[in-house]
Amino acid sequence: MASKATNEQVERLARRHAAEKSALVGALGAAEAVKQAQAVVASAEAELDLALATLAALMPSDSAAELAEVGAARVVQAVRRAPVEAVTGRVAELTGSVPAKPRRGRPPGSGMSHPANRGGGAPERGDSGVSVGSSAAGVPAAAGAFSGERPG
């Protein structure tokens, strides 16, 4: 009787092990499929970035966005992400010359900060991070506005 119960437990453990192994193989296969799909998506996004940046090099970005049926922010993102050399090469390939319109803004990775962050141009800030002499909504603070006094 003890051997029959032991044999049944061994069989249950063997079935459970086979089920776990089957689930693990399925999960590993699905994970590999996801990795391959992510690689395809990344490649397609890189191609889209190059195409949008090339179009933006040939015409204004807002026009490029409208023609490509994407948002203007997506075109700006593509211009930032696409390699300059690839865009220049693609434009030269299409037009036979270098881009007529240089890409605006600072070059990617130039390390230059925004003009407002260089000092001198930023407004003076109070302890709360709000400009001195204004409320959080950007409206000038009125003297005595929160002192409990009623106007007039």
37 pLDDT more than 80: yes
Max mean pLDDT range (20-24, 61-65, 116-120) = 20-24
> In whole angstroms, what is the distance from residue 24 CA to residue 21 CA?
5
Q: What is the pLDDT of residue 110?
A: 46
> In whole angstroms, what is the distance from residue 59 CA to residue 94 CA?
13
Max mean pLDDT range (4-18, 96-110, 133-147) = 4-18
64 pLDDT more than 70: yes
> In whole angstroms, what is the distance from residue 15 CA to residue 13 CA?
5
115 pLDDT more than 80: no
Taking residues 26-48, report their average pLDDT: 96
pLDDT in tens, 121-147: 444 545 454 444 444 444 444 444 455
Q: What is the pLDDT of residue 148?
A: 54
140 bridge partner residues: 134
Taking residues 5-10, report their average pLDDT: 90
Q: Judge if pTM exceeds 0.95.
A: no
How many residues does this entry show for the chain? Answer: 152
Q: What is the pLDDT of residue 34?
A: 97
In the predicted model, what is the mean pLDDT of the chain?
A: 77
pLDDT in tens, 80-94: 999 999 998 999 898
136, exposed or middle or buried, with CB in 10 Å at 0-12, 13-18, 19+?
exposed
